[in-house]
């Protein structure tokens, strides 16, 4: 109840930003050298991803949109360039539910000889029905977790002296997962599938991934940070389409609890560009402020086990040429 009241009141956190802050507001006075940065954003064709791409481009960041639907991406690019003719937007096709597609994307991106300062793992799916990826992995987990691009970031940070930043989009729903229910084999091949449970598990995995990778980056003395963010519950057409199911008073309360798309993109943009997040790694952010995640998400042994098992999975599913492309060049 306290969190709800804080949201309705729009109370700011320690850094002056809060649930009502927008992506443009939190990046307005960024001291990060944005004009020299290149960012990859997955799933930027709509919603939070598209707004993140727009705001980063407005701040002078070269934006690489890694997308499945190139037609939608072209439309987003056109809107961004119309608003900001100086925007540098590059489009690359990728299907994050296919490891071979991820490998192709990595090869194509590296062939451009671009730096890589920011990686925003924004893409995600919620599937109410059990579906499998190309490699026969449950689709929600495959799409929401198996996406990393690393060695290029470490090299860019070393050469430029600018801290690299990875942002994983997670969700407060990760806290719904209980320790005795979290199992890597069950994530990949669930026996009794539940869409909400699968989504919660995948979002827990994004935080655990950030925790494990943060430790490994520190052990390597790499100038790259990784953090997870909860964007909030963002206003879409779904609740308005079902207004008839609510009384007017309930609908009014629900609509005020939802964030606009720009408010939903604020935490991602803040962590990506703010000077105040420099050096912070392995953290969890919501409403543009560092906050607490669940005890399970903080479990280092679970994080390490998940990371080890997921890498073994990649080795199993990629052929030798793809392993060389994806693992030796792009993955730790």
pLDDT tens readout for residues 24-76: 999 988 766 666 899 999 888 989 999 999 999 999 999 999 998 999 999 99
Q: What are the structure tokens assigned to 164, written together?
A: 């690299």
Question: Percentage of the chain surpassing pLDDT 90?
Answer: 38
Do residues 212 and 307 touch, judged by C-beta distance below 8 A? Answer: yes
Query: In this model, does residue 248 exceed pLDDT 70?
Result: no
Render pLDDT for 154-186 as a digit per residue (tens, 0 to 9).
Answer: 999 999 999 999 998 888 777 776 767 765 566
How do strand 118-121 and strand 284-286 relate by DSSP bridges?
unpaired
Mean pLDDT over the full length of the chain = 77
| Burial (CB count <10 Å: 0-12, 13-18, 19+), residue 137 | buried
Do residues 286 and 230 touch, judged by C-beta distance below 8 A? Answer: yes
The answer to which of 34-38, 91-95, 214-218, 265-269 has the lowest mean pLDDT is 34-38
Nearest CA-CA partner of 156 in 223, 88, 111, 89: 223
Q: Is 254 helix (H, G, I), strand (E, B) or coil?
A: helix
**Which residue in 193, 199, 270, 317 is the catalytic one?**
193
The answer to whether the pTM exceeds 0.85 is no
Is 193 labeled as catalytic in the residue annotation? yes
Does 102 or 11 have the greater pLDDT score? 102
DSSP state of 138: B
Between CA 108 and CA 259 the distance in angstroms is: 36
How do strand 289-291 and strand 38-42 relate by DSSP bridges?
unpaired
Between CA 287 and CA 6 the distance in angstroms is: 11
Question: What pLDDT is attached to residue 235?
Answer: 64
Q: Is 63 helix (H, G, I), strand (E, B) or coil?
A: strand
Between CA 109 and CA 15 the distance in angstroms is: 35
**Segment of 109-123, 197-211, 226-240, 245-259 carrying the highest mean pLDDT:** 109-123
């Amino acid at each position: 109840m306290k969190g709800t009241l804080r949201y309705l009141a729009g109370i700011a956190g320690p850094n002056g930003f809060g649930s009502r802050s927008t992506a443009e507001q939190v990046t307005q006075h960024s001291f990060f050298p944005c004009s020299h940065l290149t960012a990859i954003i997955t799933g930027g064709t709509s919603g939070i991803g598209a707004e993140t791409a727009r705001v980063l481009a407005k701040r002078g960041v070269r934006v690489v949109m890694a997308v499945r639907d190139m037609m939608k991406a072209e439309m987003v690019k056109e809107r961004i360039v119309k608003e900001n003719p100086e925007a540098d937007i590059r489009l690359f096709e990728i299907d994050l539910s296919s490891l071979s597609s991820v490998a192709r994307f990595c090869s194509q991106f590296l062939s451009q000889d671009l730096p890589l300062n920011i990686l925003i793992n924004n893409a995600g799916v919620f599937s109410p029905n059990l579906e499998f990826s190309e490699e026969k992995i449950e689709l929600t987990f495959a799409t929401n977790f198996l996406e990393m691009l690393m060695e290029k970031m470490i090299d860019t940070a070393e050469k430029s002296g600018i801290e690299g930043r990875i942002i994983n989009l997670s969700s407060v729903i990760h806290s719904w997962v209980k320790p005795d229910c979290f199992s890597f084999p069950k994530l990949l091949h669930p026996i009794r599938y539940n869409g909400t449970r699968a989504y919660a598990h995948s979002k827990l995995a994004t935080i655990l991934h950030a925790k494990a990778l943060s430790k490994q980056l520190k052990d390597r003395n790499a100038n790259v940070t990784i953090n997870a963010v909860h964007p909030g519950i963002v206003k879409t057409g779904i609740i308005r389409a079902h207004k008839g199911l609510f009384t007017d008073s309930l609908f009014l309360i629900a609509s005020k609890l939802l964030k606009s798309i720009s408010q939903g993109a604020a935490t991602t943009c803040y962590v990506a560009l703010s000077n105040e997040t420099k050096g912070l790694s392995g953290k969890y952010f919501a409403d543009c402020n560092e906050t607490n995640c669940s005890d399970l998400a903080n479990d280092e042994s679970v994080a390490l086990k998940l990371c080890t098992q997921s890498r073994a999975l990649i080795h199993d599913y990629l052929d030798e040429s793809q392993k060389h492309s994806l693992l030796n060049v792009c993955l730790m």
